[in-house]
Structure 1
Amino acid sequence: MKILYVTTISNTLNAFLIPHIEMLINEGHEVSVACSIEQPLKPFFQDYDIEVYQIPFSRSPFSKYNLSAYQSLKSIVYEKDFDIVHTHTPIASMITRLACKKLKTKVFYTAHGFHFYKGASTINWLFYYPIEKYLSRYTDTLITINQEDFQRASDHFFAKNVYLVNGVGLPLEACNKPVDRVKKREELGIDGEAKVILSVGELNDNKNHKIVIEALREFKNKNFKYLICGVGPLENELIRQINEFGLSHKIELLGYRNDIIEILKISDLFIFPSKREGLPVSVMEAMANGVPVVASDIRGNRDLIENKINGELFHYFELNELKGKLYVFFEKKMLIEEYRENSLDKVANYSVTRVLNQMKHIYNRVT
């Protein structure tokens, strides 16, 4: 079969979808990709001689460039006569389904987390929900990655087939790489006795790093180092907050990192305070590395973390609740070994091998 993978930007292909595309090629399918090139595509695409169509998608739903993207994509799908167009990310998926609705091509859509969910703003519900519900009529196969989205899509949308898969797949073997803990701590300037707390995520409002910084203000007398890996628009604001609280010697913004797994290997606690997620890979990476997780009680996180079973959940807006979790951690009353063991068992279900088998099953059933 001829399959076209569509994403809004190239970064998504590089970060998550190469194993999926490789699996389809190994199954005998011909795969092409379409996206806006923001980050150069990895050598994989050239090595496999994959046709790349540059489409002027914009991440803003109101951008004028999306009309050109619609026209370009519709023309490509019509001329190349693809059997399946498999689309990811909200904007690309909206445009793709509009472009394909009168064509014979089957449309697969992987929703990596709807913008409407329990606790979402009224604006998100008023804007995104009716669009997704309408476009589900032109979706042959809708693939979701968390229980809340799956249930809503199954109960209220019109897609011919709705499936739940365990995310994009975590390469568990990458988590088995040994790390010299002493050397890594020295590299990051962490003294031998300090507890290492880690968060990973873009420095924006959704990732909610501010509440962790605010909570740690209460524990100035404790020997810890809080590391935040990520870049984003709130960097200067977070630095001001850190300095204002007198925590500049205890909290460090590490920027974009390629060594997250190595940093997890020296971490004692992983905090993930997001307001919205689909199914967070960084939480899975923490689980796979045996790092206890304290995460916000939201869609996606709840799929991975069961409170008091393999980690702890808190309401992302409840500062005192988070302080309570940190108190338990610093006083060595957290069930670290129990959380570690249970997380390692659970995260095995989210391995890339397991997810690719789920995807093979879906393709075989609907084609």
Structure 2
Amino acid sequence: MKKMKVLFVASVYRHLTAFHIPYIKYFQSQGYEVWAAGTGVADKEILEKYQVKCVDIPFSRSPLSLKNIDALNVLKRLFHKEKFELVHVHTPVASILTRAAFRKSNYGKIIYTAHGFHFFKGAPKLNWLIYFTAEKVAAKWTDHLITINEEDYQNAQNLLPSEKISYVHGVGVEFEHEFFTENEKKHFKKQLGLSDKAIVISYIAELNNNKNHQFLLRNWGRLKQENPLIELLVIGNGEKENDLKKYVEKENLLGIHFLGFRRDVLKLLQISDVVALLSHREGLPKSIMEAMVVGIPCVVTNTRGLRDLIQSNKNGFVVNHEDDTALITAFTKLVQSTELRGTMGKCAKESIEPYLMDKVLMEYIRIYKNLLK
């Protein structure tokens, strides 16, 4: 008997390895042959270790890139050759192209999880013109749309009937790791060039304009002057890495450590006292959810997805964009009070409960079963 097949698609395989391994395992446990489509050699190898069949698709993140014509053609050939009971697509450009390629298929269903629409309150008009229009067209080829924050859920009502839209609690977060002893924490800090007494702020994000590291960096000199024990871990890589490093050097900013892309983020969180994310645009950031699971208060901007997770003065602080005074005040309050960090961290741990993997996986399984019945 021929095995049933499911296909996960994202612009890069890293998206799938970072967020969707539990969903891949679920389908495998149900007897499905799981396929993946995307780009990226290292993460492709990780998926293949999970017995996932990978198909390289030359996606470009830019919606106007000519490479995407090639991507569309590869997808069309794939859907002509293979029959999938379900296609679950992620990331904006990949989602548009995959739904376009799949639209003439007379077999299977297609789901799109929007990890943060590029059109949102305060977004440039061009974003609304390009991305909302594209989503409006692609909605005709979509069997189900999953949103992961309140604002996107409301905007989705303008794309599809309510029965074709779901609002779930992200992609699920879990913490399957042995906790460090105090001695292990000291040793790990020493490895990173940090003193035992350092108060560690971690910023876990791709280094690009959207993630807005510059907001913190331009205020770092004053923060460090007023709070000498603070150290900043910049975790991630990206197109702005050299620019940010040059800025730190030019301004002679102390206590900033660029760690690059890391696969041991859960270890790094165990030595972190505060986590920051000051993005202009988010869906529902896993880095903040992981921090909350460990009981770490967070400082975030008043951005869709971030304000879904953090309530100011409860489990962290929400500051308005470019409000330097509010940013400095938020960090200073947390840095100078162990008690406040403990209280807010406990609240963070409690408020993340609905976002835990076992609960979110059940939300997805209900949607999958409804489509595949």
Q: TM-score, normalised by structure 2?
A: 0.91
1:329 is matched with 334
In the alignment, the residues of structure 2 paired with residue 81 and residue 329 of structure 1 have an alpha-carbon distance, to the nearest angstrom, of 53
Equivalent runs, 1:56-205 vs 2, <5 Å: 56-104=58-106, 105-158=108-161, 161-174=164-177, 176-179=178-181, 180-205=184-209
- Cα displacement (A) at 1:325: 1.1
Contact 1:9–1:38 at 8 Å: present in 2 too? no
1:270 is matched with 275
Change over 3 Å in CA distance of 1:330–1:356 after alignment to 2: closer
Q: Which amino acid aligns with 2:242?
A: N
Large movers: runs of 4+ above 6 Å:
none
Contact 2:227–2:332 at 8 Å: present in 1 too? no
Q: Give 5+ residue unaligned stretches, structure 1.
A: none
Contact 2:44–2:54 at 8 Å: present in 1 too? no
Give the SS at the match of 1:261: helix
Within the alignment, does 1:230 sit opposite 2:233 as a pair? no
- Cα displacement (A) at 1:305: 0.7
Q: Higher mean Cα deviation, 146-155 or 272-281?
A: 146-155
Change over 3 Å in CA distance of 1:244–1:112 after alignment to 2: same
Match of 1:27 among 30, 35, 39: 30
Give the SS at the match of 1:110: strand
Q: Which amino acid aligns with 2:102?
A: C
Q: Higher mean Cα deviation, 7-16 or 131-140?
A: 7-16
Match of 2:247 among 229, 241, 248: 241
In the alignment, the residues of structure 2 paired with residue 166 and residue 270 of structure 1 have an alpha-carbon distance, to the nearest angstrom, of 20
Q: Deviations over 1:13-36 (max 9, x none)?
A: 222212111101112323222223
1:342 is matched with 347
1:261 is matched with 266
Contact 1:167–1:355 at 8 Å: present in 2 too? yes
Q: Higher mean Cα deviation, 145-154 or 2-11?
A: 2-11
- Cα displacement (A) at 1:113: 0.9
Q: How many residues matched?
A: 364
Within the alignment, does 1:9 sit opposite 2:12 as a pair? yes
Q: Which amino acid aligns with 1:197?
A: I
In the alignment, the residues of structure 2 paired with residue 74 and residue 191 of structure 1 have an alpha-carbon distance, to the nearest angstrom, of 55
Q: Deviations over 1:87-126 (max 9, x none)?
A: 1111111011111222223211111111111121111111
Equivalent runs, 1:300-319 vs 2, <5 Å: 300-319=305-324
Q: Which amino acid aligns with 1:206?
A: N
Q: Which amino acid aligns with 1:189?
A: G
Change over 3 Å in CA distance of 1:233–1:69 after alignment to 2: closer
Change over 3 Å in CA distance of 1:69–1:291 after alignment to 2: same
Q: Deviations over 1:262-282 (max 9, x none)?
A: 222122211111111111111
Match of 1:366 among 365, 368, 371: 371
Contact 2:210–2:279 at 8 Å: present in 1 too? yes
Q: TM-score, normalised by structure 1?
A: 0.92
- Cα displacement (A) at 1:317: 1.8
Q: Higher mean Cα deviation, 113-122 or 30-39?
A: 30-39
Contact 1:139–1:159 at 8 Å: present in 2 too? no
Q: Give 5+ residue unaligned stretches, structure 2.
A: none
Contact 1:137–1:159 at 8 Å: present in 2 too? no
Q: Which amino acid aligns with 1:27?
A: Q
- Cα displacement (A) at 1:240: 2.9
Q: Deviations over 1:37-74 (max 9, x none)?
A: 443424453453x3322222222212222222212212
Q: Higher mean Cα deviation, 107-116 or 27-36?
A: 27-36
- Cα displacement (A) at 1:84: 1.9
Q: Which amino acid aligns with 1:254?
A: L
Contact 1:195–1:267 at 8 Å: present in 2 too? yes
